[in-house]
Amino acid sequence: MFPVLLYYNFKPIADPQAFLQRQRDFCKVHGLLGRIYVSEEGINGTVSGSQEASEAYKQMLRAEPGFADTEFKEDEANTVPFARLSVKLRPEIVTIKSPIPLDPTTEGGRHLSPQEWKAIMESGDDYVIIDARNNYESKVGHFEGAILPDLKNFYDFPQWVDETAEQEIPKDKKVLMYCTGGIRCEKFSVLMKKKGWLDVNQLHGGILNYAKETGGVHFRGKCFVFDDRLVVPVNPEDEEPIAHCEITGVPADTYLNCANMECNRLFVCSEEGARLMEGACCETCKNQPYKRPFSPENAFAPFRKWYKYFGEDFKVRETGGCS
Ligand SMILES: [Zn+2]
């Protein structure tokens, strides 16, 4: 088994370029793959490799000045769920593009432990839960009763707050928010507080930490992750898919990237649907030239492994990345 690390830390980095280079060099030497964003506000990453390499990585990052308190969410996978290493400089380590400045280190909401979160959900108190993720994530799994904003990108949330939350959520209502690993709430909670909500709470460590600590009660479906696994289980007692295959309509929670490389759209698809459409998302895509050849065994193979199939310069549309 291979550990999959997910982590972030909002800490000022004086020289992001040098910091980034140390990250890249270390990962290359230790054979770690994954995705790391570095900016002046900190680091956000997910990497995977051997047990030893993962341990060494944790030590290395915690040895950077200011990063000793970095928390790692750790999962395991049968194979390393990344095809390559990508280390990038970004203006923000999680992109919300807020028109007002947001500082997660001094202004965030109250962090709830998974147990505190569960207790509130079982208390009968008056509250709202906001799913702070994108529509294709909440589609395959979410907390019971959560508001699921129909947004494609995290940076669409500021507009959603102004146009929808302002109308529908009273400022004195208890607000609970969650995301995959906690980082999006670090900024979203600051935004809601600055916009006037008084009781803003965020799930510490996100869904992945909640699953580990509580067994995932009150969560329906599975959790979308930004690596080749695409979805991971949350609640072993309730693994019924809550989404439906876009081709056949049967309950399903497996995602597929459209086999037409020029489309590459992520869509919910059952095995039967994949066979019918040969891995494409629709009839049109099924008949396009840059289509990955279909065989039932590779129907759900990670699309990133197909980069080189059509030649080095063929650009695949990526599905982005966040945690
Ligand atoms: Zn398509």
Q: Based on the fold, state whether residues 81 and 115 are members of the same structural domain.
A: no
- The pLDDT tens digits of the residues spanning 1-27 come to 999 999 999 999 999 999 999 999 999
The predicted pLDDT at position 42 comes to: 98
Query: Bridge partners of 37?
Result: 44, 88
Average pLDDT estimate for 31-56: 97
Residue 234 lies in a domain: no
| Residue 69 domain-assigned (yes or no) | yes
Confirm whether 293 is domain-assigned.
yes
Compute the distance from residue 112 Cα to the ligand 1 centre, in Å. 40
Which tens digits make up the pLDDT trace of 216-253? 999 999 999 988 888 899 998 888 999 999 999 999 99
Is 94 a member of any domain? no
> Do 56 and 125 reside in the same domain of the chain?
no
| pLDDT for res 300 | 72
Indicate which CATH number applies to the domain containing 212: 3.40.250.10
Percentage with pLDDT > 90 across the chain: 79
Same domain, 128 and 184: yes
Amino acid 313: pLDDT: 44
Residues 187, 258 share a domain: no
Distance 245 CA to ligand 1 centre (A): 14
Answer yes or no: is 233 within a domain: no
pLDDT of residue 259: 87
Asked if 166 and 198 sit in the same domain, the reply is yes
Statement to judge: residues 174 and 252 lie in one domain:
no
pLDDT over 50 (residue 308): no
Are the CB atoms for 83 and 166 separated by under 8 Å? no
Supply the pLDDT for residue 230.
Answer: 85
Looking from the CA of 236 toward its CB, the CA atoms found within 13 Å total 4
153 Cα–ligand 1 center, Å: 20
Check if 179 is active-site. yes
Residue 311 within any structural domain of the chain: yes
Q: How far apart are CA 87 and CA 204, in angstroms?
A: 25
Q: How far is CA 80 from CA 75, 99, 114, 254, in A?
A: 11, 38, 27, 19
Domain end, chosen from 221, 254, 282, is at 221
Helix (H) or strand (E) holding 103: none
| Identity of the amino acid at 16 | P
Residue 235 lies in a domain: no
In-domain check, residue 97: no
State how many domains the chain has.
Answer: 3
Return the half-sphere exposure (C-beta side, CA atoms, 13 A cut-off) of residue 147.
17
DSSP for 191-228, please give it: HHHHTT-SEEEEETTHHHHHHHHHTTTTEEE-EE-SST
Residues 217, 291, single domain; the answer is no
Q: How many CA atoms lie within 13 A of 64 on its CB side?
A: 24
Q: Are strands 174-178 and 199-203 parallel, antiparallel or unpaired?
A: parallel
Helix residue ranges per DSSP H, the chain: 16-30, 51-63, 104-107, 114-121, 135-138, 157-160, 166-168, 183-194, 206-214, 271-276, 283-286
The mean per-residue pLDDT over the stretch 37-60 comes to: 97
Q: pLDDT value at position 158? A: 97
In this prediction, residue 295 carries a pLDDT of: 79
Distance, CA 281 to ligand 1 centroid (Å)?
Answer: 4
Q: pTM to 2 decimals?
A: 0.89
Same domain, 146 and 39: no
Q: Residues near 164 by Cβ (< 8 Å), separated by ≥ 6? A: 149
Mean residue pLDDT across the chain: 91
Q: Among all chains, which residue has been given the structure tokens 């990344």?
A: 82
Q: Contact, 267 vs 246, CB < 8 A?
A: yes
Domain extent for 11: 2-89
Query: What pLDDT, in 10s, does the model give residues 147-165?
Result: 999 999 999 999 999 999 9
CA of 303 to the centre of ligand 1 (A): 13
Domain boundary among 24, 55, 89: 89
Per-residue confidence (pLDDT) for residue 265, from 0 to 100: 86
Residues constituting the chain: 323
199 and 150 in a single domain? The answer is yes
Q: What is the CATH number of the domain that holds 51?
A: 3.30.70.100
Is the pLDDT reported for residue 303 higher than 80?
no
Which of 191, 221, 251 corresponds to the end of one domain? 221
Instruction: Single out the catalytic residue among 179, 223, 258, 285.
Output: 179
256 Cα: distance to centroid of ligand 1 (angstroms): 10
DSSP state, 273?
A: H
**What sign does the CA torsion over 241, 242, 244, 250 have?**
positive
Share of the chain above pLDDT 70, in %: 92
pLDDT reported for residue 72: 97
